[in-house]
Amino acid sequence: MKNKKIALIAGITGQDGIYLSNLLIKRKFRVIGLSRRVERKSKNLKIIKTNYSFQSLKEIIQKYKPIQIYNLAANSNPISSWKEPKYTFNSILNITINFLENLKYNKNIKFFNASTSEIFKSTNKIVNENSEIFPNNPYGIAKSSAHFMVAAYRKYYNIFAVNGILFNHDSPYREKKFLIKHIILEANKVKNKKIERIKLMDPRPVRDFGFAGDFMEAAFKILSLEKPKDLIIATGKSISVKDLAKKITRLMKVPSNKIKYIRNHNYPVSLKKKTSIRKIHNITGWKPKVSLEELILMMVESKKN
């Protein structure tokens, strides 16, 4: 362990944690993962069960002395956050603050916080790192609070703490409740004659969808910078829910007339989220490698469905 660079990943069991841990191990890091539920150990990966309290994080940081920390832990579904707004807000903000409070005493550690496109105000304009922050759901509100806290601690305590503002990203490891995975699973049921229609809430929202593995490469590049910068991580290409559903059903050879929309206006939605990746590309050289069609096919062909 003495000759190993140590990286700490909070939220190790999610799709981002899986891709990031593999990436870091390939770069000769030893990875310490944090989880509320799982403990596991292998050659270059150890998963520790924690409640993410200040004291728990303090003991882990003191013991393993990481040079990088990635905070990926969160309830990451804007719609479901309406069902548990208090838990969503407290869990996201408290975990972030507990990390930041520890960084006051460990200023040699670089800290990456997973922020989100849900922090931005709904607009027809292309958003960038300086766009107005005005979320409209509990998840976005919690994430914006954590985002501001990271920026404040960075300035006040002179620490290396950054926000990676992640737009939508998926992979075969994605949970069933998220859009692309949901459409794929429902399309499979239509093909197998288990259901008649793919039911979706709203065809209007426009989103930027990328591959989680690409986005974690971007996170690593941001944390490898000499000076901390908050940067958007996205593809720079957006698509509506309606066109995304058509693309998936076409690739799966399911008739598009099998899609049925049930508009549900109980949940406020930001209709358009378009962005540019010019800044992250100029600063880090990063750009996504996997196209949307390649991502969909990867998820369709996965045995995890």
Residue 196: active-site member = no
| Residue/partner pairs of 296-303 with CB below 8 Å, 24 or more apart | 296/180, 296/184, 296/247, 296/248, 296/251, 297/251, 298/171, 298/172, 298/211, 299/170, 299/171, 299/172, 299/174, 299/180, 299/181, 299/184, 300/184, 300/248, 300/251, 300/252, 302/172
Query: Looking at residue 264, what is its pLDDT?
Result: 64
Report the alpha-carbon distance of residue 158 to residue 163 in Å, rounded.
Answer: 15
Q: Which residue has the tokens 């974690």?
A: 216
pLDDT tens-digit series, residues 56-77: 999 999 999 999 999 999 777 7
From the first residue on, what is the mean pLDDT of each consecutive set of 10 residues in the chain (305 residues)?
Answer: 82 96 97 91 92 97 98 81 89 96 96 96 92 93 97 98 97 93 97 96 92 98 98 97 97 96 68 90 98 97 80
pLDDT tens-digit series, residues 215-263: 999 999 999 999 999 999 999 999 999 999 999 999 999 999 999 998 7
Residue 275: active-site member = no
User: Which residues is 30 bridged to in the sheet?
Assistant: 6
DSSP assignments along 81-148, one per residue: GGTSHHHHHHHHHHHHHHHHHHHTT-TTSEEEEEEEGGGBPP-SSPB-TTS-B---SHHHHHHHHHHH
**Which of 52, 88, 118, 186 is the catalytic position?**
118
**Which of 139, 186, 249, 275 is the catalytic position?**
139
Query: Looking at residue 1, what is its pLDDT?
Result: 46
**Which of 116, 249, 275, 284 is the catalytic position?**
116
Report the alpha-carbon distance of residue 296 to residue 208 in Å, rounded.
Answer: 14
Residue 123: active-site member = no
Report the alpha-carbon distance of residue 234 to residue 214 in Å, rounded.
Answer: 9
Question: In order of start, what are the domains of the chain with their CATH numbers?
Answer: 5-170+209-237+275-289 (3.40.50.720), 179-205+239-274+293-301 (3.90.25)
**What pTM, to 2 d.p., does this model score?**
0.94
